[in-house]
């Protein structure tokens, strides 16, 4: 039983998160232990939302990664804020517009990959340039506040647990079910292991990839809306940190970079770990340089400890 | 056969088109001085692209090359300026560190994307520790090299050709280059023939580190002061340069000459967009568009090749 | 007897609980062609990996030319001692040229002019073994047809720079070669052994072994169970030594004439003749390897210039690249093709999935204690059975088979043949590309392919090797 648990890759990410949290509260002699966790849950949810999308993309096989997530977050935030225009009555249309824009990015990404046969890294990178320019041009200079209900939803808590975290937990469970119990989910895993074999086994490879890139962009859109609610407005650099964060959480969480193996719980552990790590270093009063170095070494350390892929 | 030739020629054609368009928009650039100015940053970009290419040859990807180049510029502007011996030692240590990372990635069979992602934080952190804000001074000899005046052709073009040809000889024509590319094409076949994959990977990573150091020093010679963030974009440039130059992410298919040409194209595209007076909002978008157009052309050529 | 080339004594190798080699003694004399046969999982591949230095045995000793080799026996050591191996899955780098691939196995090929020497070396050897090979030393491997790749790799194994060629191991060397090239290779093996090099020939084509080998060793369960001169074996005694009896297949009479046409397709790669397969029929695709048979199957699979009544399923021959999902259990590998049918309220019914997997494990007699084990715990033959189960468990009315018996042992084959026959009698249609002429006896009809077109259609009474070869080579056929 114990051996089986230790073989689960997500155990490492939760272990690391726990260790970092304990180190922090040991330093503060237990002060703010709960508050740190609450904050971690709040901030981690954004990473988890995009992490789930990135996980699906990475699982569809080597070379698949979505680098347009930050730009999509920014675009979605800008569109949502501008369409809502601080008017609660326009919230629904704002959400639809933002998610619509994000979905279009996903369709465009897949179009580049499929029709122009551009490697996904370069395709999503190039499209992110275009998307970012669109976001800059569209939402330039204006700082619009989110409608109050949106801001409240993003900040609400029940017993110290953010409502958003609960919603994202539900989303994560749904994603786990999708992966193991739907034809789409199985197709993602099969395509990731061997796309030719998946095609010959009667699975629809093209549709699977298409849905995956659209899903990733859609989730980035969701993240953009919630993030602008949480931070009371969209900003042109609001997506920046999520490029590294989305990839790092997926991989630290035990999803295989070679494709075909996804891990939903690991994303939670990894996202909490990454946030708590920064909190710990801030608590210790480390300088910016030290903080960066330790963050980097920890990421490397976790991936080394969790071990690499099995030889295939 | 024709199609394959066309695909290999595509990077060169792209460069020619971007160059012609630049000349058309701004005829004054069609001069020794104009080219020198437009292309001066092509040298560090080309060196960084070559560094990335070595890593891509063995099917890995280096997401840390940008911050690494920034770190080198910081070391160059401080340690190398104040104490050349110590500075050289520090730079050699960094190349060794690259080799060690390659060994780690190979031995533990780790995803290079994640390891180098972590590494990018480490490089940036060290650089920020050395130079919390931009400063320091470039050694005189670096400035002198980067501003050397060559008759007839501007220095950046000569330098790019030399870099491309030297690496082409080493990787595409030498007998050891075959082993390095083979390691990307079919690692199992290499180890079955008794070659050490570990050694190959370490060598390729150290070469990447070496060219990263050259890129950082070249950049320092141009900017004349160090800055931890000066090369953050280089990670993306270097990957885009390799791909524009006809390289592929897996399978050991790379082209040093193409990579250098890809880097030149990227450097030129920046100037071109400024000349076009595109709204600053869309500058970055236009770069994305150029990348997409070139890759679309390549897809078109390859598609025809497959159909035939 | 001639001098010893290489000798193994008491070699053992275990992978976890599985004992792949249980104390093997093997001597190969210089100038000898040794045939090695055995079922999948008998230990042949493991033994070859030990001989070529790619696996370190758990116990046992190795001697070169009569002298014990006391250092670590590695791949590099094997190269240096002139031991070469052509593995079943090819060991060429697809991104390099033929000449560059020669450099990889020859350390002395360096310095100025190495490429010229490499070119000359491989060109001369290719000309010697396979006249009319049509391969240039500067061709990139990725641009060569699969058969040409195999030729290049075989020729590379026989090239010599420094030192001597002591032993060449050929593991299923003719699997992708057409009949002519295969004959050229076997003739060359005889010439090469006459010059003093030793060759170990592993093949599932017993005819090849019987006609080429001087001596035959039979392996079973990680041990050698028979070791005699080739002349002391017959086909039947060889099969008996491997531990499975050769069963004669009785083909039902051709009775499909009036049945519904399930597939009709016309090769896009050439010709005007079209293919037809009726309900309950087993239609063979034959001819020399690589003449458009696989392309025909893929064309049908993609519905291009082909019409069909009913769903399709595809059984790949190249398990690793076209078939198996490495990370998944045997059960999941079996149910992949049936996922849509296993849905209940939008979600896959896990209990029904487990039932389906269990049922087909039984019906195909897949040898595993638990279908939840990883697919790679199975031997190659059993993995192939899982792929058959994947197709047969599905709702497909038409099954396309792309030379699925490649490298499968005789026992497994017999079981699968019976299964195909039973399924055909239930009304399923099979379109079966096969490189083994014997398998045509299980077909009701066959199409012979040449240069991408259908060169001939053979009825049930014409399914003989002679007719097949005639149609494959003749210039003009109806």
Domain assignment present for residue A270? The answer is: yes
The whole-chain average pLDDT of chain A stands at 88
Contact flag C327-A200 (C-beta cutoff 8 Å): no
Query: Which of chain A's residues have a Cβ under 8 Å away from the Cβ of B299?
Result: 115-118
- Please give the share of chain C, as a percent, with pLDDT higher than 90: 41
Per-residue pLDDT tens for C149-159?
Answer: 999 999 999 99
Which of B100, B103, B110 to probe the A interface (max A CBs under 10 A)? B110
- How many other C-beta atoms can be found within 10 angstroms of the C-beta atom of residue C469? 17
Using the Cβ of A182 and the Cβ atoms of chain C, whether some distance falls under 8 Å is answered with yes
Q: How far is B173 from chain C (nearest CA, A)?
A: 8
Q: What is the number of H-type helices and E-type strands within chain A?
A: 14, 2
What would the pLDDT profile of C340-377 be if each residue is shown by its tens digit?
999 988 899 999 999 999 999 998 888 888 889 999 88
Task: Please give the model's pTM, rounded to 2 decimal places.
Answer: 0.80
| Residue at A24 is within a domain | no
Residues of C in contact with A200 (CB under 8 A): 301, 314, 316, 322-323
Residue A261: CATH number of its domain = 1.10.3470
Is residue A7, in this structure, part of any structural domain at all? no
CB contact under 8 A, C321 and A177: no
| Distance (Å) from the alpha carbon of A18 to chain C's nearest alpha carbon | 30
The C residues from 391 to 420 touching B (CB cutoff 8 Å) are none
Residue in C closest to B189 by C-alpha: C91
Does A202 contact C at CB distance below 8 Å?
yes
C312: contact with A, CB 8 A cutoff: yes
Rounded average pLDDT over B48-77 = 95
Q: What is the pLDDT of residues A17-65, one digit of tens each?
A: 898 899 888 888 888 888 888 888 989 999 999 999 999 999 998 779 8
Backbone region of residue A67 per phi and psi (left: phi > 0; alpha: psi in -120 to 50; beta: other values): alpha
The answer to whether A261 contacts chain C (CB < 8 Å) is yes
Residues of A with CB below 8 A from B120's CB? 296
User: pLDDT tens digits, residue range A250-305?
Assistant: 888 888 877 889 999 999 999 999 899 888 888 888 888 998 898 888 778 877 87
Lowest mean pLDDT among A128-137, B46-55, C265-274: C265-274
Give yes or no for B306 touching A (CB within 8 A). Answer: no
Domain extent, residue B159, equals 3-307
Q: Is B172 in CB contact (< 8 Å) with chain C? A: no
Q: Does C301 touch chain A (CB under 8 A)?
A: yes
Which residues fall within 8 angstroms of residue A311, CB to CB, at 6 or more apart? B109
Which of B239, B249, B299 lies closest to A116 in CB terms?
B299
Query: Mean pLDDT across chain C, nearest whole number?
Result: 86
Q: Do A200 and C343 touch (CB under 8 A)?
A: no
Integer Cα distance of C109 and C200 in angstroms: 26
Q: Over the stretch C224-256, which tens digit does the pLDDT of each residue have?
A: 999 999 998 887 788 778 765 444 444 544 556
- Tell if the CB–CB gap between A202 and C327 is shorter than 8 Å: no
Q: Give the per-residue pLDDT at C256.
A: 60
Q: What is the pLDDT of residues C45-98, one digit of tens each?
A: 889 999 999 888 988 999 998 889 888 899 889 988 999 999 877 789 999 999
- What pLDDT does residue C254 have? 52
- The helix/strand/coil state of A149 is helix
Residue A27 lies in a domain: no
Report the distance separating Cα C272 and Cα B169, nearest Å. 51
The model's confidence at residue B240, banded by pLDDT at 50, 70 and 90, is confident
Taking the CA of residue B233 and the nearest CA in chain A, the distance in Å comes to 12
Taking residues C281-302, what's their average pLDDT? 86
Using pLDDT thresholds of 50, 70 and 90, give the confidence band for residue B304. Answer: low
Give the ipTM: 0.87
Facing residue for B184 by CB, picked from C95, C105, C110: C95
**CB < 8 Å to B186, chain C:** 91-94
| A269 within 8 A of A253, measured Cβ to Cβ | yes
What confidence tens digit (pLDDT) does each residue in C168-194 have? 999 888 877 888 899 999 999 999 999
Structural domain contains residue A138: yes
Q: Which of A290, A303, A310 sits opposite B115 (nearest CB)?
A: A303
- A181: closest chain C residue by CA: C348
Nearest partner of A55 among A219, A195, A200, judged by Cα: A219
DSSP string for residues in A56-99: HHHHT-TT---TTHHHHHHHHHHHHHHHHTT-GGGHHHHHHHHH
From A152's Cα to the closest Cα of chain B, the distance in A is: 32
Q: What is the pLDDT of residue C271?
A: 79
Q: What is the pLDDT of residues C5-24, one digit of tens each?
A: 999 999 998 876 667 889 99
Q: Does C150 touch chain B (CB under 8 A)?
A: no
Residues of B in contact with A289 (CB under 8 A): 125-129, 132
The pLDDT score that the predictor gives to residue A237 is: 82
Residues of B in contact with A121 (CB under 8 A): 61, 239, 249
Number of domains, chain A: 1
Higher-confidence position of C260 and B6 = C260
Return d(Cα C109, Cα B182) in angstroms, integer.
15
Question: Which residues in chain C have their CB less than 8 angstroms from residue A197's CB?
Answer: 316, 321-325
Q: What pLDDT score was predicted for residue C322?
A: 87
pLDDT at C247 (0 to 100): 42
**For A200, which of C316, C327, C339 is closest by C-beta distance?**
C316
The number of domains in chain B is 1
The β-bridge partners of C22 are C12
- Check A308 against B108: CB less than 8 A apart: yes
A197 located within any domain: yes
pLDDT at C246: 41
Q: Does B178 touch chain C (CB under 8 A)?
A: yes
- Tokens matching residue A93: 């249309």
Domain membership flag for residue A111? yes
What is the mean predicted confidence (pLDDT) over B205-212?
97
Model confidence at C270, pLDDT cuts 50, 70, 90, reads confident
- The CATH number covering residue B296 comes to 1.10.3470
Q: What is the DSSP secondary structure assignment for residue B81, as one 8-state letter?
A: H
Q: Given this model, what pLDDT does residue B5 score? A: 77
Q: Please report the pLDDT score of residue C180 as a whole number.
A: 87
Set of chain B residues whose Cβ sits within 8 Å of the Cβ of A251? 111, 113-114
Residue A287's pLDDT is what?
A: 87
pLDDT category, A190, cuts 50, 70, 90? very high
pLDDT at C475 (0 to 100)? 43
**Interval B29-45: pLDDT, tens:** 888 888 888 888 899 99
A196 touches chain C (CB under 8 A): yes
Residues C288-316 have a mean pLDDT of 87
- Distance, CA of A43 to CA of A77 (rounded, Å): 16
C94 touches chain B (CB under 8 A): yes
More confident residue, A161 or A211: A211
Residue A91 in any domain: the answer is: yes
Pick from A82, A1, A58: which is nearest to A249 by CA?
A58
Q: How confident is the model at residue B124 (pLDDT cuts 50, 70, 90)?
A: very high
Over its C-alpha atoms, chain A yields an Rg (Å, rounded) of 19
Query: Nearest residue of C to residue B190 by CA position?
Result: C104
Q: Domain of residue A173: give its range.
A: 33-305
C348/B contact by beta carbon, under 8 A: no
Test C314 with A201 for CB contact under 8 angstroms.
Answer: yes
Q: Is C272 on the interface with A (CB under 8 A)?
A: no
Chain C nearest-CA residue for B185: C93
Q: Does the structure show a pLDDT above 90 at C267?
A: no
């Amino acid at each position: 039983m114990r051996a089986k648990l230790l073989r689960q890759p997500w155990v490492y990410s939760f272990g690391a998160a726990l260790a970092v949290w304990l180190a922090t509260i040991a330093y503060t002699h237990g002060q703010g232990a709960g508050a740190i966790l609450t904050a971690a849950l709040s901030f981690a949810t954004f990473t988890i939302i995009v992490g789930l999308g990135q996980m699906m993309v990475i699982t569809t096989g080597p070379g698949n990664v979505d680098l347009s997530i930050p730009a999509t977050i920014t675009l979605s935030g800008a569109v949502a804020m501008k369409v809502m225009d601080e008017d609660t009555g326009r919230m629904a249309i704002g959400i639809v517009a933002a998610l619509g824009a994000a979905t279009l990015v996903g369709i465009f990404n897949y179009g580049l990959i499929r029709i122009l046969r551009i490697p996904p890294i370069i395709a999503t990178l190039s499209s992110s340039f275009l998307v970012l320019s669109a976001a800059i041009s569209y939402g330039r200079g204006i700082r619009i506040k989110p409608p109050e209900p949106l801001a409240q939803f993003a900040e609400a808590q029940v017993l110290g647990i953010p409502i958003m975290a609960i919603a994202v937990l539900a989303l994560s469970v749904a994603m786990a079910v999708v992966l193991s119990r739907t034809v789409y989910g199985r197709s993602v895993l099969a395509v990731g292991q061997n796309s030719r074999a998946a095609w010959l086994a009667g699975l629809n490879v093209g549709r699977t990839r298409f849905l995956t890139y659209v899903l990733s962009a859609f989730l980035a859109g969701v993240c953009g809306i919630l993030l602008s609610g949480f931070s009371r407005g969209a900003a042109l650099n609001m997506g920046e940190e999520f490029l590294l964060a989305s990839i790092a959480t997926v991989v630290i969480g035990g999803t295989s970079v070679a494709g075909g193996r996804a891990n939903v719980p690991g994303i939670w552990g990894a996202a909490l770990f990454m946030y708590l790590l920064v909190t710990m270093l801030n608590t210790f009063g480390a300088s910016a340089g030290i903080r960066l170095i330790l963050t980097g070494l920890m990421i490397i350390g976790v991936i080394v400890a969790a071990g690499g892929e099995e030889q295939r | 056969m024709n199609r394959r030739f066309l695909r290999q020629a595509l990077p060169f054609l792209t460069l020619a088109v971007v160059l012609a368009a630049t000349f058309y928009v701004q005829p004054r650039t069609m001069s020794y001085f104009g080219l020198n100015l437009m292309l001066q940053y092509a040298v560090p970009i080309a060196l960084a692209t070559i560094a990335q290419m070595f890593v891509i040859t063995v099917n890995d990807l280096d997401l840390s090359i940008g911050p690494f180049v920034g770190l080198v510029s910081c070391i160059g502007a401080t340690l190398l300026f104040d104490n050349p011996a110590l500075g050289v030692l520090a730079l050699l240590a960094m190349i060794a560190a690259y080799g060690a990372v390659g060994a780690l990635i190979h031995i533990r069979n780790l995803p290079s994307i994640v390891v180098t992602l972590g590494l990018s934080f480490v490089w940036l952190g060290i650089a920020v520790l050395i130079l919390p804000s931009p400063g320091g001074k470039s050694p005189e000899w670096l400035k002198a090299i980067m501003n050397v005046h060559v008759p007839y052709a501007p220095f950046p073009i000569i330098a790019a050709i030399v870099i491309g040809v030297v690496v082409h000889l080493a990787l595409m024509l030498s007998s050891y280059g075959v082993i390095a590319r083979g390691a990307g094409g079919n690692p199992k076949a290499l180890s079955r023939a008794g070659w050490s994959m570990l050694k190959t990977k370490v060598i390729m990573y150290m070469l990447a580190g070496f060219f990263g150091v050259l890129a950082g020093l070249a950049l320092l010679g141009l900017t004349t002061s160090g800055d931890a963030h000066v090369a953050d974009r280089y990670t993306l440039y270097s990957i885009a340069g390799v791909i524009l130059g006809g390289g592929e992410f897996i399978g050991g298919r790379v082209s040093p000459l193409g990579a250098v040409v890809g880097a030149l194209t990227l450097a030129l595209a920046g100037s071109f967009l400024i000349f076009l007076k595109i709204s600053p909002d869309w500058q970055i978008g236009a770069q994305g568009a150029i990348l997409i157009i070139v890759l679309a052309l390549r897809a078109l050529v390859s598609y025809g090749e497959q159909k035939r | 007897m001639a001098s010893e080339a290489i000798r193994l004594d008491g070699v053992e190798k275990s992978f976890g609980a599985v004992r792949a080699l249980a104390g093997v003694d093997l001597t190969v004399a210089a100038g000898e062609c040794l045939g090695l046969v055995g079922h999948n999982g008998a230990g042949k591949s493991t033994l070859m990996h030990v001989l070529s230095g790619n696996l370190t045995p758990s116990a046992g000793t190795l001697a070169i030319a009569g002298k014990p080799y006391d250092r670590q026996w590695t791949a590099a050591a094997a190269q240096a001692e002139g031991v070469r191996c052509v593995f079943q899955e090819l060991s060429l780098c697809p991104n390099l040229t033929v000449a560059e691939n020669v450099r990889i196995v020859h350390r002395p090929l360096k310095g100025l002019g190495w490429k010229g020497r490499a070119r000359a070396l491989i060109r001369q050897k290719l000309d010697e073994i396979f006249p009319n090979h049509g391969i240039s030393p500067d061709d990139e491997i990725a641009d060569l047809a699969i058969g040409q790749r195999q030729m290049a790799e075989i020729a590379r194994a026989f090239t010599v720079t420094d030192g001597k060629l002591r032993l060449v191991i050929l593991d299923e060397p003719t699997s992708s070669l057409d009949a002519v090239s295969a004959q050229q290779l076997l003739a060359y093996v005889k010439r090469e052994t006459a010059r003093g090099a030793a060759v170990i020939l592993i093949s599932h084509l017993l005819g090849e072994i019987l006609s080429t080998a001087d001596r035959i060793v039979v392996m079973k369960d990680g041990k050698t169970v028979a070791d005699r001169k080739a002349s002391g074996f017959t086909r039947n005694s060889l099969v008996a030594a491997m531990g499975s009896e050769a069963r004669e297949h009785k083909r039902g009479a051709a009775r499909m004439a009036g049945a519904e046409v399930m597939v009709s397709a016309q090769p896009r790669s050439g010709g005007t003749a079209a293919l037809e397969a009726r309900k309950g029929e087993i239609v063979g695709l034959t001819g020399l390897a690589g003449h458009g048979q696989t392309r025909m199957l893929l064309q049908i699979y993609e519905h291009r210039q082909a019409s069909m009544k009913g769903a399709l399923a595809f059984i790949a021959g190249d398990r690793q690249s076209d078939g198996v999902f490495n990370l998944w259990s045997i059960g999941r590998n079996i149910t992949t093709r049936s996922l849509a049918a296993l849905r209940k309220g939008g979600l896959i019914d896990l209990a029904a999935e487990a039932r389906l997997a269990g049922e087909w494990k039984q019906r195909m007699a897949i040898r595993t204690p638990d279908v939840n084990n990883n697919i790679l715990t199975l031997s190659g033959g059993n993995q192939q059975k899982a792929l058959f189960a994947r197709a047969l468990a599905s709702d497909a009315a038409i099954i396309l088979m792309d030379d699925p018996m490649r490298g499968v042992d005789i026992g497994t084959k017999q079981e699968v043949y019976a299964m195909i026959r039973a399924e055909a009698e239930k009304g399923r249609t099979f379109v079966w590309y096969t490189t083994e002429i014997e398998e045509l006896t299980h077909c009701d009809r066959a199409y012979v392919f040449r240069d991408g077109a259908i060169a001939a259609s053979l009825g049930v009474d014409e399914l003989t090797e002679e007719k097949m070869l005639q149609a494959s080579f003749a210039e003009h056929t109806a």
